[in-house]
Amino acid sequence: MWTVIYIAPNKLVAEKYKKILTEEGMLVQLRPIGSAHLAEHASVEILVPESEAEEAHEIIIGAIGS
């Protein structure tokens, strides 16, 4: 089961956090939210397997704070 751990404001931010999480060895999926016409500017859900959700969330929060 995949779990949303963060909603990024756009694709660029989502890709940045995906890279951080994959470097930590986690599986990550990105899922755009909203209309397709928003393209790069749409919010994006960052998902990880449920078993890694807590750790992944802590990594994201740490990345936001730095």
Domain count, the chain: 1
DSSP state, residue 48: E
Per the listing, tokens 């599986």 go with 27
* CATH code of the domain containing 19: 3.30.70
In this predicted structure, what is the pLDDT of residue 35? 72
CA separation (Å) from 32 to 48, 51, 59, 64? 15, 22, 21, 20
Range of the domain at 61: 2-65
The whole-number pLDDT of residue 13 equals 95
Please report the pLDDT score of residue 36 as a whole number: 65
- The DSSP 8-state label assigned to residue 46 in this structure reads E
At 20-65, the pLDDT tens digits run 999 999 999 999 998 766 777 789 999 999 999 999 999 999 988 8
**Residue 6 forms beta bridges with which residues?**
46
The reported pTM is 0.88
Residue 66: is its pLDDT beyond 90?
no
